[in-house]
Chain A
C-alpha cells in the first residue's frame, strides 16, 4: 500500500501555494512522488496525490501521461538514458545501446534481473558538442567511448 511520506506531503502542500494556480503544482509534485517511489509513479500514488491536492485523478493522469520523464512502471536503480538523436547517433550511440542490452541481457525499457538498470533510448538532451552522451538518473555523462561507458556501468552497484 503506497503512502505519501511526511516529507512528500509537506513538499506538495508548499508547491500548492507556490504558483498562481494549484494545478501548476502537479508537475513538481509528480517529480517528488517519483523520487519517493524509487523512480516511478504508481496508480496508487496518483490517487494519494489526488486526495492531498484536491485535484481529480483524471486531471493528474492527463499530465502524468503526457511527459516522458515520469515513469509509468518500475525502473532499475540506474535509469540509463542513451541519447539517440542526430549528433549522438553520428557518434555511435545506437551501437552503444545495443551493446548495453547484450551485455546486461536486458530488454529496452525493462528492469534488468539484478534490479540495477533500465535502458532507454531518448531524444536530444542538449549536449551534442560532447556526443556521444547519456543521462543516468539525473546526471549527464559526456564524451563517452564504448570502453568508458561500459566501465561506468560496471562501477554502478
Chain B
C-alpha cells in the first residue's frame, strides 16, 4: 500500500507555490529546526536511519558527520542530476513540490552549518529548473532565504545550476567538477567531498529525495519516521516504475514492501504478456527473473542479497515478449555513450561490451563471445575512479548468466529466440 509521507500533497497543484505549500504546513518544520541545536538535528537524522535516495544508500547522518571542524566554509549540494535510466522521481518532486526541497535544504544546511548551497539539476530538466527558480525567488522575497532567515540569525543562499547533458555528473565528484566549470570527470576518493569537495572545501552532496525526507524526520521525530520500513531500510521511498505495467508512475511505499505487490496492486499488473524480468534499481542494477521478483522485497538488504541493488528505486518491468539480448544492447550503448573516458577499463570496456553484444545481433559473434562478454565485464569492476565502470559491467553479469540460452540461440540461429525470425534487427 502506498504510504504518502513525502508525496501527501502532490495532487494539489497549488502546493508548488509558496502560499499553497504554507497552507499545508510548509516551512513549519524549518521554524522547529531553528529552535533546535544543529547537532541535535544531525543526531535525529542519524537516528532515523535515512539512507541516500540517489542510489548508493549511504546513511545520510553518517555522511554529515564526516565534515571536519576546521572552520572552513561548507557547501551543501543537492544532486538533481537524475540520470540513471528509468528514474523519474526527482523530476516529479521538483516540479510538484519545489518548496519541499528548499525547506529540506535549509534545514540540512542549518544542521551542517552551511551558508551556501546549489541545486545541480540535469540540463534536460528545463521545466523543473524554471519551477525551482520561481520558488527560490518566492522564498527570498518571504525572507526564507538570504540573511537572518525567520529571525533565526542563520544566513543561507541557494542557487540553481543547470548541467548540460552528462550522466557522469550524477556521480558526486563528477558533479563537483562540473559545478566548478570543468568537464564533469569524477575525482579519486579519498579525499571524500565531506573533507575536500566543491573548491576543495568541505561539501555534502545529497539527493533531492534525501533532502526532502529530512522534513518528516525533524517534524515527527526519528522514531516516527522509523515506523515505516525495516531496521536497515527505514522510512518510505519513491519508486519509479516503467515498462510493461498497466499503470507506470512514481509510487511512495514503505521500504520492505513486496515488489510483486507494487507491480500487481499499485501498477495494475503486467501488460502485454507474462512477467519475465525486472531491473530493480536503475539500469546499473543486475536484472532479476520472475521467480526472484516473487521473493523480492524493496529494501537495500534483500536486493543486495539477491546480487542486485535498490539503487535509485527505479524499476523496469519486462514481459515475456522482451528479448534480453536486445535489452542488453540498449543498456550497453548507454554506458558506452556516457563513459567520461578518464579510466581505461571503463573507456575501452564499455565499448567492448557494446560491440560484443551488437555482434551477437548482427550475426558476427561466436559462442565463445558469451564468455568473453562476462570476462570483459569482470575486468571492468572495481578498477576505476568512479562506479560507472561497475554500472556498465553489472547488468551484463546479471543478464548473460540468467538468460544465456537467448544469447546462444541468437548466435546459432541468427535471430532472436523471443521475437522470432520475422522481426528485423534494430541498430542502435
Contacts and interface: CB of A to CB of B under 8 A. Distances in A.
Interface in A121-139: 121, 123-131, 135, 138-139
Interface stretch (A3-11, A62-70, A110-118, A145-153): A62-70
B337 interface: yes
A140 B127 contact: yes
A95 B127 CA distance: 28
A86 B166 contact: no
Contact of B182 (A20, A23, A128): A23
A77 interface: no
Nearest to A130: B248
Interface string A72-114: 0000000000001111011000110000000000000000000
A126 B428 contact: no
B91 A126 contact: yes
A84 B83 CA distance: 14
B3 to A, nearest CB: 20
B372 interface: no
Interface stretch (B117-125, B226-234, B290-298): B117-125
B86 A124 contact: yes
Interface string B237-257: 000111110001110000000
Contacts of A131: 242, 248
Contacts of B183: 62-63, 66
Q: Identify the interface centre among A67, A84, A139, A140: most chain B CB within 10 Å of its CB.
A: A67
Nearest to B177: A66
A66 B184 contact: yes
B82 A67 contact: no
Nearest to B267: A129
Contacts of B162: 27-28, 31
B243 A18 contact: no
B180 interface: yes
Interface in A19-46: 19-28, 30-31
Interface residues of A, number: 42
Contacts of A89: 330, 426, 428
A84 B180 contact: no
B85 A86 contact: yes
B123 A23 contact: no
B85 A124 contact: yes
Contacts of B304: none
Contacts of B163: 27, 67
B318 to A, nearest CB: 7
B222 interface: no
Given A30-B164, A66-B166, A90 B88 contact: no
A63 B167 CA distance: 15
Nearest to B179: A24
A79 to B, nearest CB: 12
A90 B243 contact: yes
Given A124-B86, A124-B334, A21 B199 contact: yes
Q: Identify the interface centre among A19, A24, A69, A86: most chain B CB within 10 Å of its CB.
A: A86
A62 B181 CA distance: 10
Nearest to A140: B127
Contact of A128 (B165, B240, B337): B240
B402 to A, nearest CB: 17
Nearest to B86: A128
Contacts of B126: 138-139
Contacts of A21: 180-181, 199
23 contacts: A20-B116, A20-B198, A21-B180, A24-B161, A24-B179, A24-B180, A27-B161, A27-B164, A27-B181, A31-B162, A62-B183, A66-B184, A68-B165, A69-B165, A85-B330, A85-B334, A86-B86, A90-B244, A125-B124, A126-B87, A129-B88, A129-B241, A130-B248
5 pairs of A and B residues whose beta carbons are closest in the complex: A23-B181, A128-B242, A67-B164, A68-B165, A69-B165
